[in-house]
Structure 1
Amino acid sequence: MSDTQTLIENRPPSVAHLLLERVAATPEAEAYRYPVPAASGEGPDDWKALSWAQAAERVDAIAAGLIDLGLLPEDRVALASATRIEWILADLGIMCAGAATTTVYPQTNAEESAFILADSGSRVLIADNVEQLVKAREQRANLPDLKHVVLFDTKGVEPAADDPEGWVLSLADLEARGAAHLEKNPDAVKQRIDAIRSDHLATIIYTSGTTGRPKGVRLPHDNWSYMAKAIAAVGLLSSEDVQYLWLPLAHVFGKVLTSGQIELGHVTAVDGRVDKIIENLPVVQPTYMAAVPRIFEKVYNGVVAKARAGGNAKYKIFQWSAEVAREYARTSQDNFRRTGVASVPFGLGAKHKVADKLVYAKLREAFGGRLRAAVSGSVALAPEIGYFFAGAGIHILEGYGLTESSAASFVNPGEAYRTGTVGKPLPGTEVRIADDGEILLRSPGIMEGYHGLPEKTAEVLEADGWFHTGDIGELSPDGYLRITDRKKDLFKTSGGKYVAPTEVEGQFKGVCPYVSNILVLGADRNFCSALIALDEAAITGWAEENGLGGKSYAEVVAAPATVALIEGYVKQLNEGLQRWQTIKKFKLLPRDLDVEHGELTPSLKLKRPVVEREYKDLIEEMYAGAREA
């Protein structure tokens, strides 16, 4: 048996056990960093640190507090909060109490939040602030199982006459109860951890639901324990790393990062404020971070806009440097694949050195100057953007997984990564491609099933453990996976040709530096069309230089000059497509798509049916009286 197999097969029953091991091994080592706003409310945040021993003390208090509230093993505790240090401590406290976390995005509306809490049978809600409390109060009649609401931040909370006694607590109150409970029964938490079995429920994560009601994915303790060991076995990270964690922890991608960190023992800097990412990177100086493609797209669009604003000469230098970066990345990756050495010809290497001084070094500094690798997941990253960053020395390792597979099933292997693929399976994960191209997975990370939905579970999970992902993909002879589309998103034109819309959409994002979101259409139609939303910051900068300064976003996208600009990029896209894939018509949307309007999931995936319903008139306008092109 290999060392990797031993590591994975000898895993403990839960992450709670892993936490005990980590605290025993490195009690004084730094575990977490988190920002505390300056007392004056102005100036930079003050970053505080928690050692593993300090973190464990708070986790024990939270776990004991929950036990004191009457929580039994596998009882559900909902967690509705933005990403912050308290989220992690609360989640670990829930697990160490033997209970199970139900994750809820803080931006979820009151009705859907109530559905998740009721469907999961959550008995306690641990939440960010008064906003979440208001939702719970609104829906209390629909939440008979909910006995307590615990708040991280009690600012603005007023007593309500109809609140049951003790219904609202602060996190400090819960920890104080826990401390008192531990004085009477010092082994209370350890006893709960000792009783956890690998098949006990640890987490229910509700799929963000691109269509219909979300389904609760039941993930037992063994899923997270396996993930922690498999992430360590890949060898990408070590105890010396510093991770910057801003992803939503209600999403499986953010959540799995907390398990891997406990196994490895590295530092994690936690701050979920997306508007603080650019400010935080030079302060945190991470060696590793995970993100969704939209973040890299926004950075890329911002770099392009800044170069264009610097005048024609600067923009030409940037364009040249960007092409050198892509050529350098493609060549070095191809050579590494063939020879095991990431070499490039002398001339290309010389050009790359010049471009590095002019452009790439500044870009790396913006990421904190120490970033070894960034993992991208959730949706596909446009290869042209991936090659640009790779050539600039910011190595984006695409990975792949689903909520139903505890997030991480594939990841690109360090130096041997291949842009445009999601890499190789994690140790312990099996993969096969079905006859229709669907990716099937089997591993210790696969869910137990959908909560209360045995029929839905049976649709995707075979008796022998193979899970149907719903994604279409291709495996290279040496095991690298390329995702081509979602099975349900593939469509056939009226001419009988299949189109993978996400592939076309990804190519457009690599061509057009002004796009934010694009939806390619054409099911049962005689040609493909697209709805395009532009990146507000990028297009506003262009507008200033082109006689449209001072106009609103809606006015800018409606201007003939803007339509002509995007038409040029659409033509450029079409040059690289098969005839039946080409975009014959497009419409620019009057505003960008967003989570608040329900067009994107909280992990920034496109909700296609929602967008198609909302912009039905624009779609019909493109196809009105259309003939085969």
Structure 2
Amino acid sequence: MREYSVPVLVDVPASANLTDTVFRRAEREPGTVALRRKIGDDWIAVTAGEFRDQVASVAKGLIAAGIGAGDRVALMSRTRYEWTVIDYAIWAAGAASVPIYETSSSDQIGWIISDSGAKAVFVELESHEETVREALAELPDLKDVWRIEGGALEELIAGGAEVSDETLSERRTGRGAADLATIVYTSGTTGRPKGCSLTHDNLLFTARNVAAGPLEPLFTAAGRAALLFLPLAHVFARMIQLVLIETGTVLAHTPNMKNVAPDLQAFKPTFLLGVPRVFEKVYNGAEQKAAGDGKSKIFHAAADTAIAWSRAQSAGGPGLGLRLRHTLFDKLVYGKLRAATGGRLSAAVSGGSALGERLAHFFRGVGIEVFEGWGLTETSAPSAVNMPGANKIGTVGKPFPGVTIGIGDDGEVLVKGRHVFAGYWNDDKATGEAIDADGWFHTGDVGELDKDGYLRITGRKKEILVTAAGKNVAPAPMEDLIRAHPLISQAMVVGDDRPFVAAIITLDPEALEQWKGSNGKTGATIADLSTDPAILAEVQKAVDRANRSVSKAEQIKKFTVLDSDISEESGHLTPTLKVKRNIVMRDFAEHIDSLYG
């Protein structure tokens, strides 16, 4: 078995827990700005001392409300300042947090709260509370429901006023590295979500070694600041939150994806966290705007130049002609794109699925380098990540310090390290199936390690399709290429036990608005456009591009365009925009069957 290891950079003592940095920084540098919170149109500074005081006050309220050491407290909210305060307050009270996606159904909430044994739950909005109340009949152990927008934090703080600093300190320092910090339930692309038990050591070890290792330059630059908009209920954004707090990078939140563009311009981050779909939409939006302004040729020439310039960085550097073109387009195009992100953004981390080499090269050529990483909830988010000065586009980087990655005989990616979870909550059988006798966690992803230790993910073991002719097909790379088309929202390749490979595709409603205006079809619906010859020709171009990346036996022979988009709200995507293949297969079985009729 091929393996690659990177030595540990930062150890975590047995007495450490996630709240230590918050309380220590407040003692040493109480006036330093730690976060910024948006109130109205203003970004208000929150100092390290103020943040510690708010965390401590809410923690005292939890203690007064009867939350004991080791108890679980659920948290259901959009990404916002209070999310971070509550997360750290739960830990400071000696309890463990259980995040819930704010889009979860009553059944999902009921399962997570009952399985975790949560004693109480924080919700953000009245609608969230109503959904939780629907599940209360099945949740006899649930003690309290606290609504953020209903003044719950203020009430908790008032209720904890009599709890002494000594009591809080005893509770907070009574939890060590080996203790449970959080149970994060997988978003469930298949089956019922499983709770991943992550300890303080899992999360602290990861945050400190990532921050001191591959991504260290991103968190030591002057004026460093980051804007989070991905759901903090997901381990990816959660880990970045921890890294930002550990490194003292100024952290801000935006709860609504629709507000990301204006918030970027106002907050002016230096660092951003995203999933591939976010970067695709940024590119597609810029392309559509250029088309609307009659500047398509300029944009495409600029994009090609950015990509060529980035590729040249990995091949000895650009020549004089390319440097001159790049300088010209930097004034005409790239500078405007950077200005749209606030003008200070130079780096981003992408995870969740493959970004695609063309898009990664484009952003690096524009001046915003995107570093791909890879991991799972069970590995506290990252196991590998690219790094400044050694970004090998097309890979997900090397293991971060303290991690070993191996490739099994069947191509499965295996992982060892202190970042690997303690096990599945209430499910020893599943834990035993995931971690073998030699301590390797079996990720279910398929990949390969190059001679320098960079990992390339080539597919998902459970998602490998086997056609009726016995051909193994990895759908993800083709889906990524199809989805890169500006008019396409999602693509899912099918063909398991079928005579050939096919695909079902959905259209992007936002991108279609621009296209309809430019093509004289302003009144057309998505249903109308799903059979429109011009649209089908565009989809065919995307499919042809994907087909050029694989052998003939793996190529998509037919596709169908659905008459509606699929989304998280429709139940077909996870909160990080991954397709729930089994749900799509079930709900669109007739469409898939028609491809083989």
TM-score range, shorter chain: over 0.9
- Which of 253, 256, 261 is residue 244 of structure 2 equivalent to? 261
Q: Is the deviation greater in 77-86 or in 344-353?
A: 344-353
Q: Is the 8 A contact 1:11 1:225 kept in 2?
A: no
| Number of equivalences | 588
1:163-202 correspondence runs (5 A):
170-181=152-163, 185-202=164-181
Report how far residue 179 of structure 1 moved. 2.3
Offset of residue 554 of structure 1: 1.9
> Aligned with 1:179: secondary structure?
coil
Match of 2:80 in 1: 84
Question: Does the C-alpha gap of structure 1 residues 366 and 6 become closer, same or farther in structure 2, counting only changes over 3 Å?
Answer: closer
* Alignment-derived partner of residue 210 in structure 1: 189
Question: Where does the alignment leave 5 or more consecutive residues of structure 2 unmatched?
Answer: 1-5
Q: After the TM superposition, which of the residue ranges 233-242 and 220-229 deviates more from structure 2?
A: 233-242
Unaligned runs of 5+ in 1: 38-44, 155-168, 336-342, 625-629
8 A contact 2:36–2:44 mirrored in 1: yes
Superposed counterparts of 1:88-487, under 5 Å: 88-154=84-150, 170-181=152-163, 185-234=164-213, 235-239=216-220, 240=222, 241-311=224-294, 314-335=295-316, 343-487=317-461
SS of aligned partner of 1:114: helix
Aligned pair partner of 1:599 in 572, 577, 583:
572
CA offsets, 1:307-334, max 9 Å, x none?
Answer: 22222xx111111111111111112123
Aligned to 2:29: 26
Q: Which amino acid aligns with 1:589?
A: L
* Equivalent-residue separation in structure 2 for 1:115 and 1:568 (angstroms): 43
Of structures 1 and 2, the one with the larger relative CO (CA 8 A, separation 6+) is: 2
Among 458, 463, 480, the alignment partner of 1:506 is 480
Deviations 1:264-319 (A, max 9, x none): 111011122111001111111100010111111111111111122222xx111111
- Deviates most, 456-465 or 71-80: 456-465
In structure 2, do the counterparts of structure 1 residues 594 and 24 end up closer, same or farther at CA, with 3 Å as the change threshold? same
Q: Secondary structure at the match of 2:492?
A: strand
The verdict on how the C-alpha distance between 1:102 and 1:47 changes in structure 2, with shifts beyond 3 A counting, is: same
Aligned-partner residue type, residue 474 of structure 1: E
Residue 8 of structure 1 and its aligned partner are, at CA, apart by 2.6
Quick one: distance in 1 between partners of 2:292 and 2:587? 34
Does the residue aligned with 1:435 lie in a helix, a strand or coil? coil
SS in 2 for 1:584: strand
For 2:193 and 2:97, locate their aligned partners in 1 and report how far apart those are by CA, in whole Å. Answer: 16
- 2: CA distance, partners of 1:85 / 1:119: 27
Structure 1 residue aligned with 2:57, among 51, 54, 61? 61
Is 1:536 the counterpart of 2:509? The answer is yes
Q: CA deviation at 1:11?
A: 7.5
Q: Could you tell me which residue of structure 1 aligns to residue 3 of structure 2?
A: none
In the alignment, is the contact (CA less than 8 A) between 2:12 and 2:201 conserved in 1?
Answer: no
- Map 1:42-57 onto structure 2 (within 5 A): 45-57=41-53
Q: Distance in 2 between matches of 1:618 and 1:46?
A: 49
Does the CA-based 8 Å contact 1:11-1:226 persist in structure 2?
no
1:36 equivalent to 2:39? Answer: yes
Distance 2:371 2:546 in 1: 25
Q: Comparing 6-15 with 104-113, which one deviates more in the overlay?
A: 6-15
Q: Distance in 2 between matches of 1:612 and 1:137?
A: 32
Query: Against the structure 1 CA distance between its residues 288 and 193, is the aligned structure 2 distance closer, same or farther, given a 3 Å change threshold?
Result: same
Letter in 2 for 1:330: R
Deviation of 1:258 after TM superposition, in Å, equals 1.9
State the alpha-carbon separation in 1 of the partners of residues 566 and 98 from structure 2. Answer: 27
Task: Verify the 8 A CA contact 1:228 1:262 in the aligned structure 2.
Answer: no
Q: Which amino acid aligns with 2:442?
A: H
After superposition, residues 576-615 of structure 1 pair within 5 angstroms as 576-615=549-588
3-state SS, counterpart of residue 401 of structure 1: strand
Q: Deviations over 1:87-117 (max 9, x none)?
A: 1000100001110001101110111101110
Return the TM-score normalized by structure 1: 0.91
CA root-mean-square deviation: 1.6
Q: Is the 8 A contact 1:12 1:225 kept in 2?
A: no
Tell me how far apart the structure 2 counterparts of residues 4 and 453 of structure 1 sit (CA, whole Å): 31
- Partner SS state of residue 348, structure 2: strand
- Return the alpha-carbon distance in structure 2 between the equivalents of residues 211 and 573 of structure 1: 25
Q: Aligned partner of 2:196: which letter?
A: V
Question: Deviation string for 1:349-389 (max 9, x for gaps)?
Answer: 12211222221111111111111210001111122211111
Name 1:526's counterpart in structure 2.
499
1:578 to 1:266, Cα distance in 2 relative to 1, 3 A: same
Separation (CA, whole Å) in 1 of partners of 2:477 and 2:51: 44
Shift of 1:5: 4.0
CA distance in 2, matches of 1:618, 1:248: 32
CA–CA separation in structure 2 for the residues paired with 1:542 and 1:133: 40
Given that residues 424 and 481 in structure 1 are in contact (C-alpha distance below 8 angstroms), is that contact kept between their aligned partners in structure 2? yes
2:578 match: secondary structure: coil
SS state of the match for residue 44, structure 2? strand
> Within 2, Cα distance between the matches of 1:514 and 1:383?
19
Measure how far apart 1:9 and its partner are.
4.7
Aligned-partner residue type, residue 479 of structure 1: G
* Matched letter for residue 14 of structure 1: N
SS in 1 for 2:35: strand
CA shift, 1:55, in A, is 0.6
TM-score by length of 2: 0.96
Verify the 8 A CA contact 1:423 1:480 in the aligned structure 2: yes
Asked whether the 8 Å contact 1:205–1:217 carries over to 2, the reply is yes
Matched with 1:158 is: none
Counterparts in 2 of 1:552-591, with a 5 A limit?
A: 552-591=525-564
* Aligned residue type for 2:412: E
